[in-house]
Amino acid sequence: MASLDDLKKRIVSVKSTQKITKAMKMVAAAKLKRAQENAEKGRPYSEKMNNIILNLADGISDKENAPKLLAGTGQDKIHLCVVLTSDRGLCGGFNSNIIKKAKNYFGKVLGEGKTLKIITVGSKGYDQLKRLYSDKIVEKISFKESKNANYFDAEKVGKIIIESFLKKEFDVCTIFYNKFKNVITQIPQEQQIIPLKSSESEGSTSEDNYEFEPEEDEILSNLLPKNISTQIFKAMLENSASEQGSRMSAMDNATRNAGEMVEKLTIQYNRSRQAAITKELIEIISGAESL
């Protein structure tokens, strides 16, 4: 049984932890509002850009000479997976949910006998994947110095992907991230960006009619690289909001659990203290009677 000093030290330690988790919850709540606004503002732009590009693709008469970023290499042998996670922990199941989604995709690709290559954006993703897929990771990227998600970081990742594609190092590129729904719920996503593929959440492009100047293929050659960076930036914004929401929820649970533990330890401390006092009184009374 723990001594009174041990119980007292543990109560002080748990209370100190409770103060930290409560502070982290408040910081996450303050950051969440702005991150959520940025994520929600970024969705219409990225989805509309995808729709415009798909509409432009429908207008190309010579499909064989279409830009490779749009049509792909024509093969499906080498898959490049870009896994976007956070650089910081203490955010509940945020990172593990993305990794779980990515691992399911990895298993499917490897099960079909295809080649897998991985780029990790965020140190937590690399830490979890290096155990099983260290030989598959071709690039690890971290933006620890960046306080908020920004387009310049997304553009750096986009350039790495495009340069790798132009060197014919992969056929299909898919990104993995968490889509923010609310503080409690973040939905793991997989999105194919090369060759470009429409998602179910995006509206049909058949109703959109555009007149192009210059020609479609010339516009696409300039627009496609920008779209890749835009889709990565959207994923980073969604991740940022999801991370803060998950951290806020996790720290709230940790704070409540710490409070419950303090109550239990206090009860245990009081009982032990009362038992010690009772024992001393019995010894004093017994000694007095013996005299």
Phi, psi at residue 206, to the nearest 5°?
Answer: -65, -25
Going by C-alpha positions, the residue among 5, 26, 57, 35 that lies closest to residue 220 is: 57
The pair of structure tokens assigned to 75 is 């093969």
Residues β-bridged to residue 83? 120, 176
Q: CB burial class (10 A; 0-12, 13-18, 19+) of residue 271? A: exposed
Instruction: Report the alpha-carbon distance of residue 152 to residue 141 in Å, rounded.
Output: 14
**Is residue 91 flagged as an active site residue?**
yes
Distance of alpha carbon 188 from alpha carbon 159, whole angstroms = 24
Q: Give which of 176, 189, 175 is closest to 228, Cα–Cα.
A: 175
* Phi and psi at residue 183, to the nearest 5°: -60, -35
Q: Give the tokens for residue 132.
A: 């099983």
The phi, psi pair for 157, rounded to 5°, reads -65, -40
**For residues 53 and 128, is the Cβ–Cβ distance under 8 A?**
no
Q: What is the C-alpha to C-alpha distance for residues 104 and 108, in angstroms, rounded to an integer?
A: 6
Q: Active-site residue among 7, 32, 81, 91?
A: 91
Contacts of 162 (CB under 8 A, 6+ apart): 69, 225, 228
Q: Which ranges of the chain would DSSP assign to H, the alpha helix?
A: 4-58, 68-71, 94-111, 123-133, 151-166, 216-290
Active-site positions read: 91
